[in-house]
Amino acid sequence: MFSKRLKWNLEPNRFARLIEEKKRAGARILDLTESNPTRAGFDYPAEEILGALAQTPAMLYEPAPRGLLVARESVAGYYAERGFNVDPDCVHLTASTSEAYSYLFKLLADQGQSVLVPQPSYPLFEFLAALEGVELRPYELHYVHPAGWRIDFDTVEKAVASSARAIILVSPNNPTGSFAKLREVERLNAICAKHNLALIVDEVFSDYGFEEDESRAGSLVSNDSVLTFVMSGFSKILALPQMKLGWIVTNGPPGLREEAVERLDFIADTFLSVSAPVQHSARAWLRLRQPMQSQILDRVRGNLNWLADVTEESPLRLLSVEGGWYATLEAPRQFTEEEWAMALLEKDDVLAHPGYFFDFPREAFLILSLLPRAEIFREAVSRILARVERD
């Protein structure tokens, strides 16, 4: 009856079952997997956000595959503020970055063809690719303490098969928080050019860098030596995932870029998924970027600094992180990360993701969201420390 693309076991896993049980028994779980900013106690200017939706022009239905010019100009304005020139005609609006991925997989890959993805990285790739019939070929990010994460180019070269159509770069990556460096982008461009691959760049967390760093690639929207698609959206930039606005900026060699834009028009025209009120609100919402981002950066930095202090002389090692909303802890390997995560949930009412959730290639890592309020974060981390010191 059903397609083979939905190949997953849809039964709740051990974690989900235990969480349900605990909640039924009235436990208060300290959730260090929380990545929903609307539940993390930030101060949203609700009146301004909701007020922007009530604009008369939104009563007109103007189907446009790239999205309304007024909204695409706002996206171009966002890049202009960051020092990058973007042509609004090369912007396609989507309902989310996840939808943007699905458009790009449709654009670039036939059934059974492949895209290269970083490992460790964001777990949704597996689902996004499988739903489009696309295969994933991992390339590795390699960690050296305390310098941080670098692309292992041997593994990139090995992952480029004849079926490969694109390389995905996530900068900064989730959950490693590592930014792509200019020298890495140069090498990726050379590999893409040699093997006729497109570069798909996910920059959803790029406004959340902790320090300035000249060696970093700020945004790849100006990358035109190979066909390049840069994605981002309001779910992270404005911490408004519920408003559903993302985009793709297309760049590349003349001719190829125009052809890609036209083909994306065709895909986007089939769905026309972004609502008029949201598009008309984009300009007003983007004005809230600085206050929203500074609240989030304060929270995330505060939690990270505290975590660095308390883990310094402990059995837990905090991996270097350059930006984003997550931190990675390496736990002693007398238990697997699944055992650590289960023990924390079962005995301490603390929920943290085990590293394998993000395809860490070895044991034993725990991934913590840095978004929770400081008091919740500190209590949860103190319980993790106590567990690790006890066991």
Q: Of 95-103, 130-138, 186-194, 337-345, which part binds ligand PLP (CB under 6 A)?
A: 95-103
The residue (of 90 and 230) whose beta carbon lies closer to ligand PLP is: 230
Q: Which of 71, 324, 369 is nearest to 207 (CA)?
A: 324
The residue (of 15 and 127) whose beta carbon lies closer to ligand PLP is: 127
Q: Of 81-89, 90-98, 280-288, 337-345, which part binds ligand PLP (CB under 6 A)?
A: 90-98
Check binding of 97 to ligand PLP (CB under 6 A).
yes
- Minimal distance in Å, beta carbon 117 to ligand PLP? 11
End-to-end CA distance of the chain: 49
Q: Which residues pair with 328 in a beta bridge?
A: 367
With b for 16 or more beta-carbon neighbours within 10 A and e for fewer, the 309-339 pattern comes to: ebbeeeebebbbbbbbbbbbbbbeeebebbe
Check binding of 96 to ligand PLP (CB under 6 A).
yes
- Minimal distance in Å, beta carbon 196 to ligand PLP? 25
Q: Which of 78, 67, 354 is nearest to 204 (CA)?
A: 78
Check binding of 189 to ligand PLP (CB under 6 A).
no
Residues 314-353 that bind ligand PLP (CB under 6 A): none
- Minimal distance in Å, beta carbon 124 to ligand PLP? 7
- Minimal distance in Å, beta carbon 25 to ligand PLP? 30
The residue (of 235 and 279) whose beta carbon lies closer to ligand PLP is: 235
DSSP 58: G
Number of residues that bind ligand PLP (CB under 6 A): 13
Q: Of 96-104, 185-193, 255-263, 295-303, which part binds ligand PLP (CB under 6 A)?
A: 96-104
x-marked contacts with ligand PLP along 225-244 as a string, rule CB under 6 A? --------x-x-----x---
x-marked contacts with ligand PLP along 116-145 as a string, rule CB under 6 A? ------x-----------------------
Q: Which of 212, 287, 273, 219 is nearest to 249 (CA)?
A: 219
The residue (of 124 and 386) whose beta carbon lies closer to ligand PLP is: 124
Options 75, 117, 170, 341; binder of ligand PLP; rule CB under 6 A: 170
- Minimal distance in Å, beta carbon 327 to ligand PLP? 14
Options 102, 114, 171, 174; binder of ligand PLP; rule CB under 6 A: 174
Contact 151, 202 (CB under 8 A): no
Options 49, 65, 87, 98; binder of ligand PLP; rule CB under 6 A: 98
- Minimal distance in Å, beta carbon 121 to ligand PLP? 7
Q: Please confirm whether the linkage preceding 277 is cis (ω < 30° from 0).
A: no
Work out the burial of residue 39: count CB atoms within 10 Å of its CB; fewer than 13 is exposed, 13-18 middle, 19 or more buried: exposed
Q: Which of 230, 235, 221, 200 is nearest to 96 (CA)?
A: 235
Provide the H-helix boundaries in the chain.
14-24, 46-51, 69-81, 97-108, 124-131, 153-159, 182-195, 234-237, 256-271, 276-286, 289-311, 337-348, 374-390
Q: Which residues pair with 330 in a beta bridge?
A: 317, 365
Q: Which of 353, 360, 331 is nearest to 143 (CA)?
A: 360
Options 37, 118, 246, 372; binder of ligand PLP; rule CB under 6 A: 246
Q: Which residues bind ligand PLP (CB under 6 A)?
A: 35, 96-98, 122, 170, 174, 202, 204, 233, 235, 241, 246
